[in-house]
Amino acid sequence: MAKKTNKQILDRAYGSEPEWSGDQDSIMDSINWYVTTSDKRNYKKWTLEWMKDERSPWSKEDYDFARRNANKSFRQIGHYCRMLSRGYPQVDHLTKVANEQIEGMIKVGKAKKKIAEEKGVVSPIDRIVNQVNELACEMNVLVDTVNESIRKNTEEHKKISVFKWLKDKRVGHRQSRLLADVFVPNLKELTLLLSGKDKDLKEGYSYLTKPQQKKYHAFVKSIIDDCTRYSEENKPVIVRKKRKRDPSKVVSKVKYLETSSEFGLRSEPPQDIIDSKKVVVFNTKYKVLSVYCSKDSDVLSIKGTTILNFDEEQSECRTIKKPKTLIKTIKNEKNLKKVWDSQHSVIKKPNGRLNEFCVIVKVFK
């Protein structure tokens, strides 16, 4: 006895390829037959046959662009195109999906033709768009798998993680973000379906029960959520280096007193203030000692003739008695504290400005 082929076994279990009977209710049954039984390798051929059919809206140019796509790009619509070629009436919802998919493949085909014409030269933006289109086609295959698992009440759809799928394929963060946008219309459609306000959608998804529709909606939502989360988590951290300016140019307008014979003092170079933590300045005219402390996790700088980034709470100034004896003793922070604590004058807040009477006594890095 001759061994039966897989096709013969399937034909016996599910019946042969369905014919249009004139009964609207049979459309969904026929779709279920194709999804369950038909060879997915025929989907590209079936789609192209429909595009060449005189009843279809597609031109020969559209056909040439679409045929440049890989077989997997046709897996969501091939069975429906087959039904249209065999005389089934158009269903608005399904035709809309088919047309959108074909238009997307035409765009991919145009891009591929352009690449061929330009000998592989393609802009970064077009390259990303092409990659996203390819990923969307692969994702649609995954969506079909989930749809079938939900319809058959198997556990297969629970094992599928979109985030892991993106990670395994090492999808770029830009591509992942754009891939999320591709499925936004699908999610809106399924949300409208669950609201029960669209009769056409209810008819189009009647092969799924209400609980199954909710599961399908949840999966499509997970595509968008996981793509968005994956994009955010894999976005590269760009550390922009600050261009360092020449310190001598930064302090070119600073006014200060280089030396004071009256107090026996010589200023530290004003460029030393840049990137320092603490600066001690003495005003020889008013005999005021100012101590500027940088803000936490920051350093001091200068703009024009003003000290920047000092902490207004920690920075202080006060009048000094016997400055001729005391100021020149400030060599380190210990000496500074000793001089400071020896005074009884009112402590005020400094304004940060330097002038021709100011000696830069000490700079602490």
pLDDT grade for 2, boundaries at 50, 70 and 90: very low
Do 153 and 106 share a structural domain? yes
Mean pLDDT in the chain? 86
Distance, CA of 291 to chain centre: 46
Tell me what the mean pLDDT of segment 277-281 comes to: 90
Do 80 and 57 share a structural domain? yes
Do 182 and 272 share a structural domain? no
Tell me what the mean pLDDT of segment 18-40 comes to: 86
Residue 238 lies in a domain: no
Do 211 and 268 share a structural domain? no
Tell me what the mean pLDDT of segment 259-282 comes to: 88
Do 172 and 149 share a structural domain? yes
pLDDT grade for 61, boundaries at 50, 70 and 90: very high
In percent, how much of the chain has pLDDT > 90?
29
Q: Is residue 3's pLDDT more than 50?
A: no
Range of the domain at 346: 247-364
Domain boundary among the residues 182, 199, 233 is at 233
Number of separate domains in the chain: 2
Tokens of 293: 């402390």
**Which one is predicted more confidently, 119 or 363?**
363
**CB crowding 159-198: b at 16 or more within 10 Å, else e:** eeebbebbeeeebbbbbbbbbbebbeebbebbeebeeeee
Do 114 and 40 share a structural domain? yes
Q: Is residue 167's pLDDT more than 80?
A: yes
Residue 73 lies in a domain: yes
Do 57 and 162 share a structural domain? yes
Residue 131 half-sphere exposure toward CB, CA atoms < 13 A: 18
Residue 1's pLDDT is what? 40
Do 265 and 216 share a structural domain? no
pLDDT grade for 240, boundaries at 50, 70 and 90: low
| CA separation for the pair 156, 149 (Å, rounded) | 6
Do 102 and 44 share a structural domain? yes
Residue 116 lies in a domain: yes
Judge contact between 227 and 179, C-beta under 8 A: yes
Do 176 and 112 share a structural domain? yes
Tell me what the mean pLDDT of segment 198-222 comes to: 89
Enter the pTM of the model. 0.40
Residue 241 lies in a domain: no
At residue 235's C-alpha, the angle toward residues 233 and 238, to 5°, is: 130
Do 284 and 150 share a structural domain? no
Q: What would the pLDDT profile of 67-123 be if each residue is shown by its tens digit? A: 889 888 898 999 999 999 999 999 998 999 999 999 999 999 898 888 777 665 566
**Sequence-ordered list of residues with C-beta below 8 angstroms from that of 237, at least 6 positions apart, any chain:** none
pLDDT grade for 4, boundaries at 50, 70 and 90: very low
Tokens of 70: 């890989």
Domain boundary among the residues 233, 255, 275 is at 233
Domain boundary among the residues 202, 233, 264 is at 233
| CA separation for the pair 39, 35 (Å, rounded) | 9
**Sequence-ordered list of residues with C-beta below 8 angstroms from that of 240, at least 6 positions apart, any chain:** none
Q: What would the pLDDT profile of 308-334 be if each residue is shown by its tens digit? A: 888 888 899 998 888 888 888 888 888
Q: Is residue 5's pLDDT more than 80?
A: no
How do strand 306-308 and strand 288-293 relate by DSSP bridges?
unpaired
Rounded to 5 degrees, what are φ and ψ at 336? -60, -45
**Which one is predicted more confidently, 247 or 171?**
171
Residue 1 lies in a domain: no
Residue 72 lies in a domain: yes
pLDDT grade for 199, boundaries at 50, 70 and 90: confident
Residue 242 lies in a domain: no
Q: What would the pLDDT profile of 331-355 be if each residue is shown by its tens digit? A: 888 888 888 888 888 888 988 888 8
Do 222 and 251 share a structural domain? no
Residue 43's pLDDT is what? 92
Q: Is residue 229's pLDDT more than 90?
A: yes
pLDDT grade for 165, boundaries at 50, 70 and 90: very high
Residue 120's pLDDT is what? 58
pLDDT grade for 178, boundaries at 50, 70 and 90: very high
Lowest mean per-residue pLDDT among 51-65, 81-95, 118-132: 118-132
Residue 240 lies in a domain: no
